[in-house]
Amino acid sequence: MRIVIPVIDIHCHLLAGVDDGPSTIDESLALAQYAVQRGITHSVVTPHIHPGRWSNEALTIRASVDILRQALADKKIPLIIGMSGELRVGLDACKWWLIIRCLFWASGEATTLF
């Protein structure tokens, strides 16, 4: 009997076209399939949040997550997707965090990963 230990990836760039991750949904799906084949069951997407470089915020990330979740379902790739963001720590991070935190709470994703 083979014991399968689920693996949760809490930092990945699977969303297409939002940062330095995959450019297309097909690339996203290929990465997702690769992850599943290696035992990953859950992934928390963490696109870069860096105003002026990548204009990501809760609503735009949510839209990309919805597209990815639907594509995964269509292709029957059994990967559960959670949503978060990668915020660079620096002098500007405090003011961004106050704005972004409110946006994530408003989207309902701040306290729920999956």
Per residue in 8-67, pLDDT tens?
999 999 999 999 999 999 999 999 999 999 999 999 999 998 777 888 888 889 999 999
Task: Indicate whether 98 pLDDT > 80.
Answer: no
Which pLDDT score is estimated for 87?
Answer: 76
Assigned superfamily of 7-107: Metal-dependent hydrolases (3.20.20.140)
Q: Nearest to residue 79, comparing CAs of 4, 7, 3?
A: 7
Label residues 80-114 b or e (16+ Cβ within 10 Å = b).
ebbbbbbbeeeeeeeebeeebeebbeeeebbeeee
Which pLDDT score is estimated for 41?
Answer: 94
Residue spans of the domains in the chain: they are: 7-107
Q: How confident is the model at residue 97 (pLDDT cuts 50, 70, 90)?
A: low
One-letter amino acid of 13:
H
Identify which has the larger pLDDT, 76 or 56.
76
